[in-house]
Amino acid sequence: MPNWKEVLDELQVEIKKGAPNALDSIRRRYLLEIHKKTGRNVIAYYSGWLQRGNAIDVIVNDKDKNAFMVNVHKLNREIGLDLILHTPGGDLAATESIVDYLHQMFGNNVRAIIPQISMSAGTMMVLSCKEIIMGKQSNLGPIDPQMGGVACQAVLDEFQKAKEDIRANPQAAPLWQVIISKYHPTFLGACQNSIDWSEKLAFDWLKRNMCEGDELRTKKVLKEFSDHKTNKSHARHISKQKCKENGVSVIDMEDDNDLQDVILTAHHAFMHTFAHSSATKIVENHLA
């Protein structure tokens, strides 16, 4: 199958021929190849955040639900779903709604494919699946919630540290007041609620599907992805090997060279689409 440059060459040939919608036709051709290889439904959920990071629509949001509804329509729900994800994450409520919808449509027979990266709420989508296809280049990310770009757990930890420091050294109070004063009255409670919400969702999804009722394994996976103290940064890239070590059900993309080729070729086609168009997000299936 073509590599990055070969897909670009193929695209340029099609454009020179005057082929209409060359970007779309090449991308969809390889999604269909994935379906032919696996015998499963395929929906790709791609964000162009690497190219257009400031665009608001690159994140998971409620408008995406309509896109999924359109793409699920006419699919054979008896053959399961392979969900190809490339996203920075986004709104937790929208993520919960999308995952719930896909579970209603396909039950637990949803498998995630990560050609490159799926972060934050995108990782939560992954953890709701029964298993994940990852390559050596694939990464997931922490699911600890953020508020205004700040980790909720970091805020709570900082407040606790302030209390302990002031208790031990009252003269430190004016220094801490400058820091703590930036939080509005309900901010700490909102941070705790976000943490509780995201952890409960991930725990329930893991236990119901990937971990099959195994509570100890569920807790191990959840701790790896939700613990801010462990991950240090919400931007941390968690490797395939690290996922395996912590109980995630991972299928090595490299075990099937033909499947790996079509997945990565489709990924290149999506990346070229973002590079050569104004698109910010694409959601489409193998029938498109």
Q: Are residues 157 and 119 in the same domain?
A: no
Which CATH number belongs to the domain containing residue 67 in this structure?
3.90.226
pTM of the model: 0.90
Q: Are residues 213 and 120 in the same domain?
A: no
Q: Are residues 188 and 50 in the same domain?
A: no
Domain of 57 in residue numbering reads as 1-141+237-288
Q: Are residues 54 and 180 in the same domain?
A: no
Q: Please say whether the beta carbons of 46 and 282 come within 8 A.
A: yes
Task: Give the model's pLDDT for residue 14.
Answer: 66
What is residue 87's DSSP assignment?
B
Q: Taking CA 186 as the corner, what is the angle to CA 181 and CA 189, rounded to the nearest 5 degrees?
A: 110
Q: Are residues 87 and 54 in the same domain?
A: yes
Rounded Cα–Cα distance for residues 229 and 261 (Å): 37
Pairing of strands 131-134, 250-252: parallel
Number of compact structural domains in the chain: 2
Q: Are residues 251 and 152 in the same domain?
A: no
**Which of these three, 208, 232, 256, is where a domain ends?**
232
Q: Are residues 125 and 41 in the same domain?
A: yes
Please give the radius of gyration of the chain, using alpha carbons only, rounded to the nearest integer. 21
Q: Are residues 128 and 256 in the same domain?
A: yes
**Which of these three, 192, 214, 232, is where a domain ends?**
232
Task: Give the model's pLDDT for residue 17.
Answer: 67
Token pair recorded at residue 102: 């896909």
Tens-level pLDDT at each residue, the chain (288 residues): 556 567 766 666 666 666 667 788 888 989 999 999 999 999 999 999 998 877 778 999 999 999 999 999 999 999 999 999 999 999 999 999 999 999 999 999 999 999 999 999 999 999 999 999 999 999 999 999 888 778 888 888 888 887 888 888 888 788 878 777 778 778 888 889 999 999 999 999 999 999 998 999 999 999 999 988 888 888 899 999 999 999 999 999 999 999 999 999 999 999 989 988 889 999 999 997
Task: Give the model's pLDDT for residue 2.
Answer: 56
Q: Are residues 178 and 265 in the same domain?
A: no
Q: Are residues 108 and 137 in the same domain?
A: yes
- One-letter amino acid identity for 83? L
